[in-house]
Amino acid sequence: MKSITRKKKTTGLKKRESLTGYLFVSPWIIGALMFLIIPLGQSFYYSLCNVKVSPKGRRYDFVDFKNYTDLFRLDVGFIENMLRYLLNTLISVPVIVVFALIIAMLLNNRMKGKGFFRTIYFLPVIVVSGPVMIQLADQGATSIPAMNVSGITRVLSTYLPRFMVEPIANLFNNMILILWYSGVQILIFLAVLQKIDNSLYEAAKIDGGSAWECFWKITLPIIKPMILLTTIYTVIYVSGNEQNVIINSIYNDMFAVNRGYGFASAKAWLYSVVVVAIVAFFTVVLRNRDTYQAEIKRFEKMEAKKEKERRKLLKRQTRRSGKWVVGVFRK
Amino acid sequence: MARYRKSNINPKRFDRSQIKIILIILPLALFMLLPIVFIFSHAFKPMDELFAYPPRFFVARPALDNFYKLFKTTSTSAVPIGRYVFNTLMVTLVVVIGSVLISTFAAFALSKLRFRGKFTLMEINNAALMFVPVSVMIPRYLIINALGLIDTYLALILPVLAMPVCLFLIKQFTDQVPDSLIEAAYIEGASDFKVYQKIVLPLIKPAVATGAILSFQQVWGDIMSSAYYISNETLRTLPFFMNTLTSISNTIAGQGMAAAAGLIMFVPNLLLFIILQSNVMNTMAHSGLK
């Protein structure tokens, strides 16, 4: 009886806590459901359909996965664009994140005019989106004129296979663009770096740690979760902005006569699968492998295994002894 | 203590040890400034310089021609420009405040409260994050149509309120808020909302500011929703108006006006950021986050 009432009490508390939880999330759930989740589901349904818009209304003819197969059969540039996007993203995202980290660490130093520099490094974020960017790219302002890209390409092509050369050369070509993309990341890194306790570094210094060691043993482990965050953010930003070739082609297909909305949705879904794959890749690479935590987990696992074995033995023993006892009684 | 720390992080005096850092940072900073310089110099270029070949980055003879032309064209439009400005300001204000509130609420609950399904919700948000926004355009239109929101301010506001990027960023920051602080508050008798308001919100200020800037950007330059959900000219927003101005009149004259309009649309962005960054970044060093 006692145990029952106690159980009821805890569930009541839990219920109340979960109620406040739902209360806090509900505005977001409603907003996301209406304008994000339901449209996403609908667009998946449309991607399986042949959507025709006529004066009488819209007609959806279910065609199974025809749109998806058409993507590979009919759209000539699609696979090529996708591969190029994949390579470019895999190469440029680490560069952006590392650059942002370096700048953030430099800005975190003691120096005059820090706020001024911080502002400047974040400024491109508010410019890069939108039509200004397209104008700038047209004017050739995104590449450093002094940098001799063809020379770099020649050197690279002697060492690397051909499909690798192009994205790397592209990287050098759009160096400024990469600098511009790293505003938010710098801000995030700065926020975390400022939170690191100074006494940690002091302690390390007393123990004879160099700045290099301090970086690898103190700074990096602390900011690791934020590195993952910025990496994911960068992937999404690079994949979703207006300069992306595939986004533009989706937009064009939507209003094209022979393609239509179903085709565009299929493309969008396939594209987002690729983006998810990239994010998953980076997550696996950067997942938090805290040595202490891993050790504790391994220990716990071992304990659990031992406990299980012990229980098994105990069970067997009692069973055996029980049998024996029963046997005794029978006798 | 606090004062000592502040002076430690932002030294007032110039020191010789700072030279090597500035040597690295300054040239890169110049590159970062390029787009802004370009916007300003482009807006003041007279006609012959706009179309000069090869294109020039800096303006040689600055002139106000583009602005004159822009204001002349706006004064001939049927709806006064003040109306567009008002629409844009209202929509932007509501969206920025609304989306930050919703995101911080949700982030606090998803990160610090216990209830069933919160991991699933986060996964859904992350999945939505990966998705191309262009592809939900038509289903979104159908939903707005079904709700009868066409030609209302709500059509401009509601779809962008739940921003996955915002929630993602803010939730990751909220995860870093130590549980012990929150537990201490609960022991002192604080309600969930008090904890959110007095502890979580001040500590995640940088994330909130970043989220506010991102959502501001999204609404401020948004042409699509004005074009698709609104057919009443008096409810449309300023960027849409600027866009039509520069595309309706012939393209050559439009170029100059587009440059001037770009500058006008850009300045509020700049102001907002400067205000937010000085407020937010300086408070961060003293927060209890460790």
| Residue A266 predicted with pLDDT over 90 | no
CB contact under 8 A, B35 and A132: yes
Q: What does pLDDT average to over chain B?
A: 78
Rounded to whole angstroms, the Cα distance separating B151 from B159 reads: 14
Which of the following CATH numbers is that of domain A84-288: 1.10.3720.10, 3.40.50.2300, 1.10.150.530, 1.10.1760.20?
1.10.3720.10
| Nearest residue of chain A to residue B205 (CA atoms) | A191
| Residue A130 predicted with pLDDT over 60 | no
CB contact under 8 A, A191 and B105: no
CATH class of B77-248: mainly alpha
| CB < 8 Å to B22, chain A | 111
Specify the 3-state DSSP secondary structure of B245.
helix
CB contact under 8 A, A115 and B278: yes
Model confidence over B177-203: pLDDT tens digits? 888 889 999 999 988 889 999 888 888
Q: Which residue has the higher pLDDT, A93 or B31?
A: A93
Best of B112, B131, B208 to mutate (most A CBs within 10 Å, chain A): B131
| Residue B6 predicted with pLDDT over 60 | no
CB contact under 8 A, B115 and A131: no
CA neighbor of B167 nearest in space, from B114, B207, B136: B207
Closest in A36, A128, A233 to B128, CB measured: A36
Q: How confident is the model at residue A289 (pLDDT cuts 50, 70, 90)?
A: low
Model confidence over A81-111: pLDDT tens digits? 888 888 888 888 998 899 899 888 888 877 7
Closest in A28, A38, A132 to B167, CB measured: A28
Q: Does A264 touch chain B (CB under 8 A)?
A: yes
CA neighbor of B103 nearest in space, from A18, A32, A19, A231: A32
Residue partners of B156: CB distance under 8 A and separation at least 6: B91, B95, B219, B222, B225, B226, B229, B230, B235, B237
pLDDT for B28? 79
Residue partners of A294: CB distance under 8 A and separation at least 6: none
pLDDT for A247? 81
Q: Which of A78-87, A282-291, B80-89 has the lowest mean pLDDT?
A: A282-291
Shortest Cα distance, chain B CAs vs residue A310, angstroms: 34
Q: Averaged over A42-62, what is the pLDDT? A: 77
| Nearest residue of chain B to residue A230 (CA atoms) | B169
Measured CA to CA in angstroms, residue A83 lies from A127, A169, B10, B65 at distances of 28, 16, 46, 46
Model confidence over B209-233: pLDDT tens digits? 888 888 888 888 777 778 888 888 7
Listing DSSP states for A220-235 in one string gives HHHHHHHHHHHHHHHH
Specify the 3-state DSSP secondary structure of A166.
helix
Flag whether the ipTM exceeds 0.90.
no
**Domain chopping of chain A, boundaries:** 18-47, 84-288, 289-319
Closest in B114, B172, B278 to A17, CB measured: B114
| Nearest residue of chain B to residue A105 (CA atoms) | B21
Rounded to whole angstroms, the Cα distance separating A190 from A107 reads: 8
Q: Which residue has the higher pLDDT, B96 or A291?
A: B96
**Domain chopping of chain B, boundaries:** 2-68, 77-248
